[in-house]
Amino acid sequence: MASFRSYLSLAHAGWVLVREGVVSALPSDGMPAPARFGHRVAGWFARRQAKDREQSERLSIALNKLGPSWVKLGQFLATRPDVVGKTIAKDLELLHDRIAPFDTDEAKTRVEESIGRPIEDLYSEFNEPLAAASVAQVHKAVLKDTGETVAVKVIRPGIRNRFKRDLDTFYAAAGLMERFVPEAARLKPNLVVDTLAQSARIEMDLRLEAAAFSEMGDNVKDDPGFRVPTVNWELTGRDCITMDWIDGIKLSEAEEIRKAGHDLEALSVTLIQSFLRHSVRDGFFHADMHPGNLFVAPDGDIVAVDMGIAGRLGKKERRFLAEILYGFITRDYLKVAQVHFDAGYVPAHHDVHSFAQAIRAIGEPIHGQSAETISMAKLLTLLFEVTDLFDMETRPELIMLQKTMVVVEGVARTLDPAFNMWKTAEPVVGTWIARNLGPAGMLEDAKEGLDAARRLVHMLPEMAEKAEALSTDMETMIKNGMKLDPETTDAIGKAEARNNRWGHIGIWALVALGGYWVFWG
């Protein structure tokens, strides 16, 4: 049960969103009458200057005022258009951290505590922060023992405790959604917050980001034209990462890249093929590949930084992705539909032929376009919209892939407006399909099936023992009934009464506080 403090924090967040004009900028079409009235009232209390701003700017200002945890929530929800809608998700994609950097001396303290050695023993130079975000900031430094220039990413002080407090507020909001918005049940808002919490916990332990860099580095070590910084594990801990300094040009600066003598068209091909290899071949991809995180090194390699957010696809999801892409290429819409049903993504009570008809409505217009204008990211976006009509369960890993693909494809088209997505993707997707869906893939599936059967055989004695113990317990329960001792029942009764009492008090206090903010805030 959410605490009274969580509801107060949620009310404060709502007031900030109202004051910054976020609520009044939302579309009111289709709202019930009470909601339309509340929407109108929100417009009365919006700041005058907020009304002149774009929706995306209003969101950015409001979330930055609420603090780093809310900025992280906004960035996370930008990857979940299934939850917040396409329009808001697109606005959130433009969200930029406007968090002031923390003091360099504090950063040095964080490094010393994390590594366990004085800063003077580690670096001969440790400069002022170059970039500050909601979770961490980056400093340029020079190693004392080798003279090598490195980047040091340092966690923001107090961010973990702040996020833990704000997480209770997010759960309170999710609980209210599930209780009062029946349509939200399918979106599983509590599960969305669970996913955010897990993602943030990973991002706030920089050893795990270092491990992501290491894993990606191993995966791409033989790939042409793409790499990630190498981590210095000796100078990496929970609160800091030390890694290669990347002296390159951001991929967003196309004209500067051209002036440096790099081939923009070749870079667009490398970017897309690298991303597809990571997704389809490795099942592990950088999920925050916006232009600010991608550099062109002097040798022409694309270097990706900031791996705080990464996505994973299991073999089932990779096969699903490859088969639907292949089905669209061959115009086998029934096959695409069947793949959804076989994977269990669409409930069995729906008709596969009706689903195939809906998918045909996506595929046929695409086949009428020139190859240069066909967007794989748009295809997946339309596909997820159609599957929503057939109660397809939310697949966070596939939505994250689709959102990342939108960004990566957009970057590729800024480098080469005539970019041919399908021609570029075919060598990677085609090779994976031939390897995994052909005879070699069937043999590998058979091998995995035998391995699973072997593990099952080894587990049978333990399973039989547990089943026998469970049977004995059930017989005892049926014979004697399930009883709770008096102390337990008394404690349960007192806890329930206490929760009800504080719940009523909290609701009336929240109403009173909300009235105060409305008339005097």
pLDDT in tens, 39-64: 788 888 888 777 777 777 787 888 88
Residue type, 44: W
Q: DSSP labels for 214-242?
A: HHHHHHHTTSTTEE-PPB-GGG-BTTEEE
The larger pLDDT score, comparing residue 330 to residue 229, is at 229
pTM confidence score: 0.71
Res 300 pLDDT > 80: yes
Q: DSSP labels for 300-346?
A: S-EEE---SSEEE--HHHHHHHHHHHHHHHHT-HHHHHHHHHHTT-S
pLDDT value of position 509:
45
Q: HSE-up of 511 (CA within 13 Å, CB side)?
A: 5
Burial 92-105 (b: 16+ CB within 10 A, else e): bbebebebebbeee
**What residue ranges do the domains of the chain occupy?**
4-97, 254-437, 441-479, 484-521
Are 207 and 234 a contacting pair, CB within 8 Å? no
123 beta partners: 143
- Reduced to 3 states, what is the DSSP secondary structure of residue 251? coil
Closest CA to 304 of 240, 238, 243, 259: 243
211 burial (CB, 10 Å; 0-12 / 13-18 / 19+) is: middle
Res 521 pLDDT > 50: no
Region 24-47: what's the mean pLDDT?
76
pLDDT tens by residue, 473-493: 666 656 665 455 555 556 555
Res 504 pLDDT > 50: no
Res 225 pLDDT > 90: yes
Res 263 pLDDT > 90: yes
Q: What are phi and psi of 287, to 5 degrees?
A: -100, 15
CA 427 to chain centre: 28
- Categorize the per-residue pLDDT at 452 as very low, low, confident or very high, splitting at 50, 70 and 90: low
Are 226 and 103 a contacting pair, CB within 8 Å? no
pLDDT value of position 124:
96
352-367 vs 376-389: helix crossing angle, rounded to 10: 150
Give the least confident one: 170-184, 202-216, 251-265, 335-349. 170-184
pLDDT tens by residue, 196-217: 787 788 888 999 999 999 999 9
- Categorize the per-residue pLDDT at 302 as very low, low, confident or very high, splitting at 50, 70 and 90: very high
Res 467 pLDDT > 80: no
Res 511 pLDDT > 60: no
Of all residues in the chain, the percent with pLDDT exceeding 90 is: 26
pLDDT tens by residue, 400-449: 787 788 788 888 888 988 887 777 887 887 788 777 765 544 455 455 55
pLDDT value of position 441:
46
pLDDT value of position 494:
56
pLDDT value of position 410:
84
Res 30 pLDDT > 50: yes
Give the mean pLDDT of the chain: 79
pLDDT value of position 210:
95
Catalytic residues: 288
pLDDT value of position 180:
72
